[in-house]
Amino acid sequence: MFGRARLQLTAWYAGALAFGILAIGVVTYILVRNDLDAEINGSLSRAFQAPPAVLPVPPRASSDDDHGRSDDDDHRLTTLSSDVFYVVTVGGQVMSNPRRVNLAEIDFSRLEASAGASQKRTDVSGSNHRLRILTVSEPAGDPLTGASTPAYLHIGRSLDSRDHQLRTIALVLLVGGVVGVVLSTGGGFWLAGRTLTPIRRSLETQRRFVSDASHELRTPIATMKANNELLLRHHDQTIEANLDQVEAIATEADHMARLVSDLLTLARADEGRIEISRERVDVAELVAELARDIRPLAEARAITVETDLGPAPVEVDRARMRQLLLILVDNALKYTPSGGRVAVQTRRSGRRVVLSVADTGPGIAAEHHERIFDRFYRVDTGRARVEGGAGLGLPIARWIAEVHGGQIGVASTLGKGTTFTVRLPAAG
């Protein structure tokens, strides 16, 4: 699925880029072409507006060798630009060609007919060159030509340089565009992969979350269903006679309630829908209250609870901070054997408040340290699922620490116990 999405994203990206490059290339080509044409047309117009002095055309016909050139032609174009030429024709015949331009392939009769009594600009193509010619009608007896019949003045300029520049620009735009699209497509494919990676991870996490949640809910539901069927089989008996089944249903119902509550907490945390009401709280006071509440349970398990409480002022949500403490202390009690010890310490270190919960349990192997904060992750060896933990407590604890701008970490040695440390910004 993600492979196909990656290809589609790359294709759309490459298509949009190719369209953009094509549009820019076309616009650039048109602008350059128009600019070159405007410069050529302008030079022809300026040449017509300020024509050079031309002597009367001799009455003799021109030969193919000199194209109507007379001995006086060198004096006719004293102000002519090097890339502009003048040609005078009468009845389609060349009467004057001072620049000796090769005009053998040009049909001047057609140019004269096209211009008529006014003027006309025409592009003419030959075997080896292209010309742009401005044809202007000169009345009979005009001093410019000296002809007794209507003559035409042809002002021309070669288009070879212009065409060469346009071909070069088109080639550069084409090659550059193709190379750009190819390189950008490769980059787009890589970027699409990078973009889809967090989405893939998020989707995989969501799928795993749903799968694990379903698995965790299946067990209590199955237990409740089985005990309920036993009760239905003995509907004529009293509750006292089936007290074990009733207690099992109640226990599993409590477990389901805690599990659903944890799932809702994490789901709302992911969506950012949990409001955090901050107030100034001394973590030492919270620890003292919690130690007082859990001490009877610890004594029943023959576990000693020790506290070393220094001032630890923070700006936190009081209920969430108590929840974090309860998760850490409850885990410590759960995995500490009879006769063990749980130590809770609070202190201030610079701009941070440090809370640590240490136990003398079996410890956690180093390869599990990074994953114990993942949802539904449980260590099967050192910390077996003794009391039905779903592996959601530590993820919730990490979220509480991070939402308050803090961090939570673990240090543990197999056979020597585990210490969880929470660092939070201290209140000013």
Q: Tell me if 185 is assigned to some domain.
A: no
For residues 12 and 210, the model is more confident at: 12
| 204, 261, 296 from 386: Cα distances, Å | 28, 20, 20
Model pLDDT, residue 286 = 92
CATH of the domain at 368: 3.30.565.10
pLDDT for the residue 1: 65
Of the residues 165, 186, 219, the one at which a domain ends: 165
Q: With contact defined as beta carbons under 8 Å apart, do 424 and 355 qualify?
A: yes
Model confidence at 67, pLDDT cuts 50, 70, 90, reads very low
Could you list the residue range(s) of the whole structural domain that residue 210 is in? 197-271
Domain-located, residue 188: no
Structure tokens at 346: 């609070």
Q: Which long-range contacts (CB under 8 A, 24 or more apart) does 35-39 make?
A: 36/162, 36/165, 36/166, 37/162
Residues 285 and 219 grouped into a single domain: no
The answer on 239 and 285 residing in a single domain is no
152 and 242 housed in the same domain = no
* 284 and 420, same domain (yes or no): yes
Q: Supply the pLDDT for residue 74.
A: 43
Poorest-pLDDT segment among 57-66, 280-289, 350-359: 57-66
In a domain, 345, yes or no: yes
Q: Tell whether 247 and 125 lie within a shared domain.
A: no
Examine the domain organization and report whether 223 and 354 are in the same domain: no
Lowest-confidence segment of 16-20, 261-265, 338-342, 404-408 by average pLDDT: 261-265
The answer to whether position 111 is within a domain reads yes
Whether 17 is covered by a domain: the verdict is yes
Buried-exposed string 156-168: b where 16+ CB fall within 10 A, e elsewhere: bbbbeebeeebee
336 and 364 inside one domain: yes
Residues 211, 160, single domain; the answer is no
Question: How many domains are contained in the chain?
Answer: 3
190, part of any domain: no
- Residue 289 lies inside a defined structural domain of this protein: yes
Q: Which residues contact 197 (CB under 8 A, 6 or more apart)?
A: none
pLDDT score of 148 = 58
Arithmetic mean of pLDDT over the chain = 81
Q: Are residues 212 and 161 in the same domain?
A: no
Q: Look at residue 397 and tell me if it is in a domain.
A: yes
